[in-house]
Amino acid sequence: MGAPEQTRESEIADLVRASDTDRFLTTAFLSQAERAHVLALYAFNIELAKVSEVTNEPMIGEIRLQWWREAVEEIYAGTVRQHHVVMGLSDTIAHAQLDQSILIEMIDARTFDVYTEPMESETALLTYCERTSGNLFYLAALAADPKVDRTAVRDLSLNAGRAYGLTNMLRAAAFHASRGRCYLPAGGGSAFDLSKYFELESHAGFERSMRERADQARAYLAKLRDDIHKISDSVFGVFLPCALVRRYLSLVSRSDDILQAPPRDLLLITKQWAYLSAFLRKTL
């Protein structure tokens, strides 16, 4: 490996370490050969998630997403932009023969992030989780083992994406609220108007939505746990973030007002122990 490539991989690893600790820690359970490819996908996901965090202007957000859309299209056309994440992603695409449409779907799903309209329904929320978190689990699994049964891993990834995605929506409710956004539909499948939250003496509607989403996350985790034993250790490591779902949901349920304070995080040692225990027992 040449010095420029080492520098690029180091920059990608630093980005993931700083921005997505949960997933970064799981890469310790991957082979060294596959680790760089999985990290490149995590970095790509971080870049997409950051779009709505660096600007409140929808037009600027759309332009940034279009930049990534064109960068991915160019990779498949044989041109690679001189950007460390793009170059890492290009290597991963070649390594695992990743489907362009899934990467584009991840980008398109982030269009919701740049606007402030509430999530319109439960179906829309689950679709968002599948196209963001679910697709990331799927592509990372392929990067970890290009020969894996793609159909079987796809089903696992969708349940993992729903469980982990819903959980992170609950944990990030305060952050989203501070930016005037709400990803959680109200009970009954209709949109919850976050703008009215602070005007109400009772927040029963939002609290009901929180409980329903938490129950959904637990249900999808249960489905994932039923089938996770079928995959190899090389791919299992990719799904380890889901070993934190029950712990995170417990933290959320103990918060007095999830919109008034940042969600409490788990201690680093708690995450490391959860991952090691799950990996050794091959269960989430």
Distance CA 145, CA 131 (A): 21
- C-beta separation of 89 from 44 below 8 A: yes
**Left if phi > 0, otherwise alpha if psi is -120 to 50, otherwise beta: which for 188?**
left
- pTM beyond 0.85, yes or no: yes
Give the CATH number of the domain where residue 193 resides. Answer: 1.10.600.10
Instruction: Please give the Cα distance from 108 to 51 (Å, whole number).
Output: 12
pLDDT at 187 over 70: no
Taking 90 as the threshold, does the pLDDT of residue 110 lie above it? yes
Residue 196 has pLDDT above 60, yes or no: no
Q: In the predicted model, is pLDDT for residue 206 greater than 70?
A: no
Grade residue 190 by pLDDT with cuts at 50, 70 and 90: very low
Residue 278 near residue 243, CB atoms below 8 Å: yes
**82 pLDDT tier (thresholds 50, 70, 90):** very high
Which of 14-23, 129-138, 175-184 is the least confident region? 175-184
Instruction: State the pLDDT at residue 122.
Output: 87
More confident: 250 or 197: 250
Q: How many helices (H) and strands (E) does the chain have?
A: 14, 0
Map residue 38 onto helix, strand or coil. helix
* Residue 232 confidence (pLDDT) above 60: yes
Task: Give the total number of structural domains in the chain.
Answer: 1
Angle between helix axes 150-171 and 204-227 (nearest 10 degrees) is 150
Two tokens, residue 56: 């409140």
Instruction: Give me the half-sphere count of Cα atoms (radius 13 Å) on the Cβ side of residue 89.
Output: 30
Structural domain containing residue 185: 3-281
